[in-house]
Structure 1
Amino acid sequence: MKLIITTLIGLHGLIHIMGFVSAFHLVKIPNSPMQISRPWGVLWMLASLLFFIMAAGYVLQWENWSLYASLAIIVSQTLIFKFWRDAKWGTLINVLLAVLLIYNLYFF
């Protein structure tokens, strides 16, 4: 189960890299109508890094991994609200990760 959760967190983090790449025109993402400015692109990368830290903290059972998890979810959902038309399905993953976070905080 831990592998599935970690993979989900990591994949969500990888998806956020697409916003950074798009903002800085590093790679042309086919069929991506999103126009992302560089400041928003930096936030997409921040969310990605926070999700990777969240995944590492979850696997390694860091004491404060929940702080990074909370920040990752907040930044991610802020970006999703801003780019709702193209990123709305990320909300589902964020909700699942928030449930995981709450479960781990109160039951472990």
Structure 2
Amino acid sequence: MLPLLSIAIVIILGIHGLIHLMGFVAYWPLKEMPQLAYKTVFLDGRLELGANRTRIYSVLWLLTAIGFVAAAIALIAGWGWGQPLLLAVTLLSLVITALDWTPAFRGAVIDPVILVLLLMGPQLARILPQIGS
């Protein structure tokens, strides 16, 4: 059985990923969301993406959502690709939240925590033990 802390971390990663779906929904746009309004200008008005590139930006939010959930599943299952995927998706998350910092800063707070845990290397293995070892 996995330790409670491991399960909690995996649940937090999964929830963090699902929250990224809001970016996809808002910037595609599939639905109007008052807390994350559709726009085509980012970096506090310094970067104009236009409608087509904003859709590409929204797909990055979707890929990040899928990546966090997949990494959470891989970590809980003990699959070796979970940590590299988590590193890549966390870095992508930092980039996309930096582009629209004002509404997304809350979500970006967890990304540095994830990076610190990943950089701990072998110590992370004690927090998220491999199943079957």
TM-score for both structures, normalised by structure 2: 0.73
Residue of structure 2 equivalent to 1:45: 62
Question: What SS does the corresponding residue of 1:88 show, helix, strand or coil?
Answer: helix
Structure showing greater Rg? 2
> Which stretches in structure 2 are left out of the alignment for 5+ residues?
41-53, 126-133
Which range moved further: 22-31 or 73-82? 22-31
Q: In structure 2, what is the Cα distance between the partners aligned to 1:5 and 1:31?
A: 26
8 Å Cα contact 1:34/1:83 also seen in 2: no
Q: Sort the Cα spacing of 1:88 and 1:31 in 2 relative to 1 into closer, same or farther, 3 A.
A: closer
TM-score for both structures, normalised by structure 1: 0.88
8 Å Cα contact 1:54/1:66 also seen in 2: yes
More helix by share: 1
Which range moved further: 31-40 or 85-94? 31-40
Q: Sort the Cα spacing of 1:12 and 1:74 in 2 relative to 1 into closer, same or farther, 3 A.
A: same
Spell out structure 1 runs of 4+ moving beyond 3 A: none
| Residue 90 (structure 1) aligned with residue 90 (structure 2) | no
Identity %: 27
Over aligned residue pairs, what C-alpha RMSD do you find? 1.5
Q: In structure 1, what is the Cα distance between the partners aligned to 2:80 and 2:38?
A: 37
Residue of structure 2 equivalent to 1:24: 28
Residue of structure 1 equivalent to 2:122: 106
* Alpha-carbon displacement from aligned partner over 1:39-60 (angstroms, at most 9, x marks no partner): 1000000111110111011101
Q: Partner letter of residue 122 of structure 2?
A: Y
Residue of structure 1 equivalent to 2:7: 3
